[in-house]
């Protein structure tokens, strides 16, 4: 059951990544310059809240260095790239185990 949900979420994220690539590509062609949607803007649009409200929570409860170099760099990354990478990772985690070929199980 967990594998099913991992694969479902993986497929949804891969589809969202491809949709984001198409939207960013159309915007780049229309503006004659490469433009992409940062993850910060995508999350703000989807959730309706500002991501910066998480800054005090992360700095106070987890670690201050997690916010400044790590989270800010991740939030500036293209949303399509993050969605595709996370989607493929979830698809790999949700894949059924491969059969062990060539291993003798009887002795």
Is the pLDDT reported for residue 105 higher than 70? no
Range of the domain at 86: 1-37+79-95
- In tens, the pLDDT along 3-32 reads 999 999 999 999 999 999 999 999 999 999
Is the pLDDT reported for residue 102 higher than 80? no
pTM (2 d.p.): 0.80
* Number of domains within the chain: 2
Question: In this structure, are 5 and 25 located in the same domain?
Answer: yes
What is residue 99's DSSP assignment?
A: P
* Mean pLDDT score, 78-90: 95
| Chain center to CA of 13 | 7
Question: In this structure, are 68 and 86 located in the same domain?
Answer: no
- On whether residue 5 sits in a domain, the answer given is yes
Is the pLDDT reported for residue 100 higher than 80? no
Confidence (pLDDT) at 22? 96
What is residue 96's DSSP assignment?
A: P
In angstroms, the Cα distances linking 68 to 56, 57, 64 are 11, 13, 7
Looking at the chain, the number of H-run helices and the number of E-run strands are 6, 0
């Amino acid at each position: 059951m967990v594998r099913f949900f991992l694969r479902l979420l993986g497929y949804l994220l891969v589809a969202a990544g491809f949709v984001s690539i198409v939207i960013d590509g159309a915007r780049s062609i229309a503006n004659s310059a490469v433009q992409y949607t940062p993850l910060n803007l995508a999350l703000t649009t989807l959730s309706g809240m500002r991501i910066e409200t998480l800054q005090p929570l992360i700095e106070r409860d987890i670690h201050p260095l997690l916010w400044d170099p790590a989270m800010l760099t991740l939030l500036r990354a293209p949303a399509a790239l993050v969605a595709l990478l996370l989607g493929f990772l979830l698809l790999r985690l949700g894949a059924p185990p491969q059969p062990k070929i060539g291993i003798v199980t009887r002795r």
